[in-house]
Structure 1
């Protein structure tokens, strides 16, 4: 299958519109229609319903394959170019919220102190976007963080050959509003909190808790941002509980240790092939 046709198909499916996809890709609407028709002819199956524009069952299955395939192609191109690139002193670091914790912030400071010319641009985004940014060469290094068991790696998208190194982990705590009946406990079991109301946030989605414990963990409010101050403010106002790394819990709310299961906020460093120079030095510094 032609990757250009796959790209057009993914864009149309995401936009739900041939005209919007044409505008995003810089094609005419007629060209987009012809490309979709060519892909459907190649497979011998209809991939998109036209009114409304949405994937057919065959199209939905193709989407499951297309996005990882396109990411792998972008990653392959970026990896070849990165391997041939000269060392640079202006580095791009993609990181998930909470991944630059006090330990890694200190390591970052030491790296900058030891390299006077080093310039770092730090951008925060979701874990999937961190992986894509590193794979496609839009960031030299990535820091992806998430909740996991102490010995478990994070579940990240497959983007081809990439070095993944655990660089930090700290215990998570249950974040409760002041005056909550459980705020005085020394520790809590997650299983005892299945009936509590939880914030649904990218930092701690209830679906992840259900994976660990089972049913329950109903969402009281969905917050689609990643600002920790907002999350803590919502907890303090009684909109729901959440889990955060112990170092991220500020004054004004209560963080209670989690006794069972033991969970950590794990941070992994991601990068492709790094030539000797600033990027390799920063990777070594962040690895401790």
Structure 2
């Protein structure tokens, strides 16, 4: 199976048009049609109905494989290029939400001391995209965060030979309005909050699908959706009564008119990890060594330090 034909097929399906796919890929429309036809001949089945453009059952099944296959090819290319790359003074880190911790900030200061001309950029990236962007070389390093049992590593999607280093682990708290009837409780059980109104904020707080999974119950209805990346904006919505949110305790605390009640059950923590591929000597490699050789905020160096990325959806 030719990877380029597979990329062409995915572009046609995503754009819903042979001509739009040709424009995006820089081909003629006839070249796009020929590539799709060649892929169909190779597999011995029709993948697309042409007018209108839509996938057949076989085409749908192939697309389920296409994303992971193309990602692994891009990751392999990036991994080999990293090994051959010359040292650089650039450091591009992707982070979601409030995942830049004090420990990481201090480690970055040490890196800047070693590389005074360092061009450092920390970009806000959606949680779901960070691992793939590190694997394909779009990011030098990525900060992933999510919910896990104490000292357990996060589960990451299979995106190539990536490694993670534990950066921080801290308790979770339910953020709710200060006047809420539960605001004075010493702790809360997640299962008891299934019928409450929640804020769906996947880039800042624990996402609602994950809440249902860890609580082992349905519910956790989204009263409103917050697509911003700032915790402050989310807490303003909490304070105004738009819904609850589950956050790292330090992120939930200190906001006006918001109570941060510790999560007592199930026993979970918010964990932050740095994910990377093979690294030539330079700022990124130094940062990894600094983090891997120390004690993450609030926990001992545990099983995630230096581990390979796993094969299940990202905890969050």
> Which bracket does the TM-score occupy, shorter chain normalised?
over 0.9
Shift of 1:88: 1.3
Aligned to 1:225: 228
Shift of 1:248: 1.5
Distance 1:115 1:218, change over 3 A: same
Aligned to 1:242: 245
Aligned to 1:212: 214
Contact 2:198 2:221 in 1 (8 A): yes
1:251 counterpart (246, 252, 255): 255
Aligned to 1:106: 106
Contact 1:128 1:157 in 2 (8 A): no
Structure 1: how far apart are the matches of 2:241 and 2:197?
A: 9
TM-score by length of 2: 0.85
Aligned to 2:6: 6
> 1:175-194, aligned counterparts within 5 Å?
175-194=175-194
1:281 counterpart (266, 269, 286): 286
Pair 1:267-2:272 in alignment? yes
TM-score by length of 1: 0.93
Structure 2: how far apart are the matches of 1:197 and 1:277?
A: 47
Partner of 2:264: helix, strand, or coil?
strand
Partner of 2:63: helix, strand, or coil?
helix
Contact 1:147 1:265 in 2 (8 A): yes
Deviations 1:255-287 (A, max 9, x none): 110000122221111111112232211112233
Deviations 1:80-100 (A, max 9, x none): 111011111111112222211
Distance 1:101 1:86, change over 3 A: same
Q: Which runs of 4+ in 1 moved over 4 A?
A: none
Shift of 1:77: 0.9
Aligned to 2:157: 157
> 1:22-101, aligned counterparts within 5 Å?
22-101=22-101
Structure 1: how far apart are the matches of 2:51 and 2:183?
A: 53
Partner of 1:224: helix, strand, or coil?
coil
Shift of 1:212: 0.8
Structure 1: how far apart are the matches of 2:244 and 2:22?
A: 43
Q: Tell me, which stretches of 5 or more residues in structure 1 are unaligned?
A: none
Partner of 1:183: helix, strand, or coil?
coil
Q: Tell me, which stretches of 5 or more residues in structure 2 are unaligned?
A: 295-316
Structure 2: how far apart are the matches of 1:58 and 1:237?
A: 49
Structure 1: how far apart are the matches of 2:227 and 2:31?
A: 35
Structure 2: how far apart are the matches of 1:109 and 1:176?
A: 35
Structure 1: how far apart are the matches of 2:151 and 2:14?
A: 36
Deviations 1:39-60 (A, max 9, x none): 1221122223334433322222
Equivalent pairs, count: 288
Structure 2: how far apart are the matches of 1:143 and 1:3?
A: 30
Structure 2: how far apart are the matches of 1:231 and 1:131?
A: 24
